[in-house]
Each structure stands twice: as C-alpha cells, then as structure tokens.
C-alpha cells in the first residue's frame, strides 16, 4: 500500500480503514467503542500512515473478539 503524501489524504485513508474494520467487526457481533484514528500519529514527520487506536473494551467484548479470531483461524 502506497502512503498518500498529504496529511488529509492519510487521514482519509485511515478513516476508511477504521470504518471498514468497524463494519467487519460489527458483522461478527463485536463493537469496539473507542475504535478511531490516532490523530497524534497523523502529525508524524515521517509521512507514514497514522495509527489505528483499537481502544479499550469490556470483558464481554474481549471474549467475543477472541472467539471471532479463533473462528477465523479455523
């Protein structure tokens, strides 16, 4: 994946990934309430993509996420 040079483009790309991740997790019954783009990482001089902050979740959500990952592993 090529990193867009402009901060606005990097932010847009990261927001698209967050939306896709939120949708895919939601379709599996997993909601990460704090899922977002880490805006501080967007200010990096390196021009890299910003980080995606998965945030914190409660035990029930963590167990559902673990079950989804286990199921995906086959």
pTM of the model: 0.82
Q: For the chain, which residues make up each domain, given as ranges?
A: 7-73
Cα 8 to Cα 45: distance, rounded to the nearest angstrom: 14
Q: CA distances (Å), 11 to each of 45, 62, 74, in order?
A: 14, 27, 34
For 19-64, write each residue's pLDDT tens digit: 999 999 999 999 999 999 998 888 877 767 789 999 999 999 999 9
């Amino acid at each position: 994946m090529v990193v867009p040079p402009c901060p606005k483009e990097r932010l847009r790309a990261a927001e698209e990934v967050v939306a896709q991740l939120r949708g895919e997790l939601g379709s599996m019954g997993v909601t990460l309430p704090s899922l977002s783009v880490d805006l501080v990482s967007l200010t990096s001089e390196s021009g890299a993509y910003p980080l995606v902050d998965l945030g914190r979740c409660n035990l029930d959500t963590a167990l559902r996420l673990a079950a989804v990952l286990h199921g995906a592993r086959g």
